[in-house]
Structure 1
Amino acid sequence: MKELWKKSASELGQLIKKKEISPVELVDLYTARIEKIDPLIHAFTVLSLESAKEKAKALEKEIISGNILSPLCGIPITVKDHFDIVSLPSTCGSLLFKDYVAKEDHLLVKRLKEAKAIILGKTNMPEFGFSAVSHNPIFPATRNPWKLDLTAGGSSSGAAAAVAAGLCPLSLGSDGGGSIRIPASFCGVFGYKPSRGRIPWPIGRGRDFENWELFAHAGPLCRTVEDAVLLLSVLSGPDSSDPYSLPPPEFAWEDCLKADIKGLKIAFSLDLGYARVDSELKQIVSKAVELFETDLGCTIEEIDPGWPDPSEAYLTLVYFGSDLVALRKAAEENRKKISHHIVDFLKRNFTPEDFSQALKLRREIVYKMSKLMENYELFLSPVTAVPPFSLFFQGPDCIEGKPANPHISWIPFTYIMNMTGQPAAAVPAGWTSTNLPVGLQIVGRHLDDLTTLRASYAFELVSPWKDKWPPVASISA
């Protein structure tokens, strides 16, 4: 079937159900693409293609007998290196775990396997997810499929790059401060951070350096909102390993694909009142925001949310939420094996008072955001403050001619939504004059994934991105 690789997971699922294609055919297709394209972009840390083919052959027999077991049945998928898959290396992008092989499946991997999805391999990430870019000390850096000398963003770097290059239709990522939305924006695909607890995040698994409990979410990276809903329907639901996990949603997942959002009142901000943002990026996002009014019938109001820059508070909470004992011990014993920015971070002299003040500011942001969202159903912003930049940098040290903190100044819009736990999507808003993707962030009220996904779907219909591919994707076409 011509250009089968361009089809969404949902389209592939329908073809499998009709027995017009087989899981074996899909595994062979993506295997061929991975072999030709991944040496250029380095999206994967480890592949399990032989295992995937064996599972596809077994599953094919069930499908022939009419046994379609779930919406993901027979769909190839990739998984961020953070999530353990039994018998596969699980490095988290660190030399410290170069030889670590997972002893059991992560809860979400178990759910994928139970749904009969076919896992092609694990995708690249920066060391321990401690940055928003796409390089680490152990694997070749993941390159942006739109321009290979640029970063793919992070920390779900390989997940976004693999989807953007057509190496898989779906990928599972994680997000502690923008780690799904940032690479989705940089790679021109859809990324979704659901409400905190919508997809469970097991804690206390007993492995050193487990962190991000305060802010962590798991979620999809894919080409369409419909595909995201497909994955969310399989992965959502409570689990005792996550005390914050939510019961099944009060809405039906298919209702997220009803596109009528006419009449919604929407707030937006291009700078949150304090952030410096690239001027061309602002123009692109502004045009995308206008579509909610002109094409979708919403009321749009530009606002200043009214909280101070919380970047230091966020970094403080990340610091105190990390496994400091294990990290500091590792830094002392294996200095040359750990990324410089992590070692420097561990040297910072945060005090208990800093932690207390950071918690206080987080409470202030949660309160002010809740009051803001009493008046608006959605909040729109850029995903990042800059377009994709060069590999091997943590971020720009200058934005719009003024000094910037390269670690956090360019992501002011994303980590806020981890502090509040709200649902947040990254949708492609447009492309720069040099053909680089720019993302729009769509944020919903607390626990309102339904409206957030509906708005994302409605925007996709009026400003479609599914058929816009980077040049590298056509190499093996």
Structure 2
Amino acid sequence: MTDLAYLPATEALRLFRSRELSPVELMTAVIERAEAVEAQVNALTERTFEDALTQAAEAERAYRDGGSPRPLEGLPVAAKDEQPIAGRLATDGSLAYPDQVAEETHPVLERVLAAGGIIHARTTTPEFCCAAFTHSRLWGLTRNPWNLDYSPGGSSGGSGAALASGTATLATGSDIGGSIRLPAAATGTVGYKPPYGRVPAMPPFNLDHYCHDGPMARTVADCALLQNVIVGPHPGDVVSLRPAVRIPDRLGDVVGLRVAYAPNLGDWEIEPDVAANTRAVADALAAAGAIVEEVEVGLCRADVMRAAFIHFGTIFGPMVANAAAEHGDRLTRYALTFAAESRAAAERDGFLAGLELEATIYAVIGALLDRYDVLICPTAGAPALRAGEDYVDAKLVVNGVELGHYMEYSLTTVFNVASRCPVLNVPSGRASNGVPTGVQIVGRSYDDATVFRVGAAVERVRPWALRPETL
């Protein structure tokens, strides 16, 4: 076996059970990889490598003694730093709270640990997770392992970069406007936004229907493995759904499945590389036996942006604004700008207008998914954002067009509005700059299994590289 740092989690578990591989060997390979590449990538905020090796040795004994190893026994899992661990720092990526310590552990991480996963590192985010890139004054600049001139996306950018750079086997993420799917697309990894309530979260953001915690991995099967561990009701989250609904081990083929292929959701700007790769995924699914039909969705990105910023201005924005009121000089310009822009949108239009607009957006998606089993579309109109740019003064240009707000490059926020739809990002190819591109597989409300079924089919007929050639 070579390249253990990129070994799929499902394969590692098989080798652990057959005792052809030790959890200590895998953890050692991941740690050595981190020590080799972290100076370039900067995806990890906290490393607990010594403790991780001790836990790996305990996992080795669990396999050797012939007991019943837990679902993630011995696997290195990187945790998004936003998700707290009791007794550990909980900074929100901000200089406003550099010494703040968490009192509780996030339900997702509780379940990872209970399943035998080893949290050997935590991963970078933008400040307060309020951006689609990953850099902060606290942690510095995180770079994309496929091309260091680019960002890995955000806000789960550190998790995507860790997976792509081989410094984690699995990773956790969260998504309020694309924060799992955008990094997954930019780093050539798999990321899942579960439908609202499927995976438990912490108050008050568990009550925000835009918010989702979910798994990130390098393969579809690995993503399903982690999703099946973190899913299900939790006593601390009133919206967490019961019973737990898990992804089946056998997903079947896509023969006869009706797939709506949307090159665009409406008037988004789409770079030619992204468009070509999305088309290639549609063609591959057709070759695999799916009934693929090109559709026009007809949404307006200005409506989606307006709805999103009204919503952000009622919950997320005020949280950032509260920190700004007390520690404004310590915050990044992009966090201050986000707080101001979202507050202005909410004050101008009001929460009711936002809900009415969200209803018109979902009406289009709901009608489409009533006719098709899934919708596929680009995850973003451009492969990635430039590393270190905050887009406060500079404008983002996509397909030769200057955008009013950089987040208009994303096609993900539509499905935070349509929050009950499960969405899986899988790689669709590579752009000319070497950065991966992604495609979203969108399912009917709460139909988790079908998006994984389609994602697994894409992986079979159009497999992707797991490791960057240049890092």
TM-score normalised over the length of structure 2: 0.94
2:210 is matched with: 215
Amino acid at match of 1:247: R
The residue number in structure 2 matching 1:242 is: 237
Matching of residue 462 in structure 1 with residue 464 in structure 2:
no
Aligned partner letter, 2:233: P
Q: Distance in 1 between matches of 2:94 and 2:57?
A: 34
SS at match of 1:285: helix
Aligned match of 1:297:
289
Using the size of structure 1 for normalisation, the TM-score is 0.92
Alignment-mate amino acid for residue 81 of structure 1: D
Tell whether the 8 Å contact from 1:37 to 1:472 is kept in structure 2 after alignment.
Answer: no
Equivalences for 1:118-157 in 2 at 5 Å? 118-157=118-157
Deviations 1:171-198 (A, max 9, x none): 0111111111101111111111112222
Question: Are positions 1:366 and 2:366 aligned together?
Answer: no
Deviation, structure 1 residue 361: 0.8
Q: CA RMSD in A?
A: 1.8
Tell me the secondary structure at the aligned position of residue 336 of structure 1.
helix
Aligned partner of 2:312: which letter? V
Kindly indicate whether the alpha-carbon contact (under 8 Å) linking 1:317 and 1:358 is maintained by their aligned counterparts in 2.
yes
Paired residue type of 1:285: T
How far 1:289 sits from its partner (Å)? 1.4
Is the 1:79–1:171 Cα contact (8 Å) retained in structure 2? yes
1:191-340 matched pairs, under 5 angstroms: 191-204=191-204, 213-249=208-244, 253-255=248-250, 257-258=251-252, 260-293=253-286, 295-309=287-301, 310-322=304-316, 324=318, 327-340=320-333
Describe the shift of the 1:211–1:97 C-alpha distance in structure 2 as closer, same or farther (beyond 3 A). farther
Counterpart of 1:207 in structure 2 is none
Correspondence for 1:174: 174
* Larger CA deviation: 384-393 vs 73-82: 384-393
Write the deviation string for residues 16-70 of structure 1: whole angstroms up to 9, x where unpaired.
Answer: 1112222222222211111111111001011111111222222322222112332
The number of residue pairs the alignment matches comes to 462
SS at match of 1:389: coil
Aligned AA for 2:315? G
Residues 89 and 250 (structure 1 numbering): CA distance in 2 closer, same or farther, change over 3 Å? closer
TM-aligned CA distance change 1:120 to 1:18, over 3 Å: same
CA contact (8 A) 2:200 2:206 kept: no
The aligned residue for residue 109 of structure 1 is 109
Whole-angstrom distance in 1 between the partners of 2:323 and 2:246:
45
The residue aligned with 1:10 is 10
Give the stretch that moved more between structures: 188-197 or 114-123.
188-197
Partner SS, residue 287 of structure 1 = helix
Alignment deviations for residues 425-456 of structure 1 (CA, whole Å, 9 cap, x no partner): 11111112232211111111111111100000
Change (3 A) 1:389 1:306: closer
Residues 468 and 27 of structure 1, relative CA distance in 2, 3 Å threshold: closer
* Equivalent AA in structure 1 for residue 439 of structure 2: L
Distance 1:53 1:232 in 2: 24
Aligned residue for 1:452? 451
Gaps of 5+ in 2: none
**Secondary structure class of the residue paired with 1:147:** coil
> Is the partner of 1:282 in helix, strand or coil?
helix
Match in the other structure for 1:38: 38
Task: Quickly say closer, same or farther: Cα 1:334–1:235, change in 2 above 3 A.
Answer: same
For 1:113 and 1:250, locate their aligned partners in 2 and report how far apart those are by CA, in whole Å. Answer: 20
Which secondary structure state, in structure 2, belongs to the residue aligned with residue 267 of structure 1? Answer: strand
Q: Give the partner amino acid of 1:297.
A: G
**Displacement after TM superposition at 1:202 (Å):** 2.4
140-149 or 427-436: bigger deviation: 427-436
Query: Aligned pair 1:376/2:372, yes or no?
Result: yes
List, as ranges, runs of 4+ consecutive aligned residues in structure 1 with deviation greater than 4 Å. 249-252
From the superposition, tell whether residues 211 and 39 of structure 1 become closer, same or farther in structure 2 (CA, over 3 Å).
Answer: farther
Instruction: Note the C-alpha offset of 1:138.
Output: 0.6
Conserved 8 A contact 1:126-1:155: yes
Aligned letter for 2:106? H
Cα drift, residue 248 of structure 1: 3.3
Distance in 1 (CA, whole Å) between partners of 2:381 and 2:307 is: 19
Q: Distance in 2 between the 1:175 and 1:251 partners?
A: 20
> Which residue of structure 2 lines up, in the alignment, with residue 443 of structure 1?
442
Q: Write the distance in 2 (CA, Å) between the matches of 1:341 and 1:231.
A: 32
- The answer (yes or no) to whether the contact 1:394–1:407 under 8 Å persists in 2 is no
Distance 2:266 2:368 in 1: 14
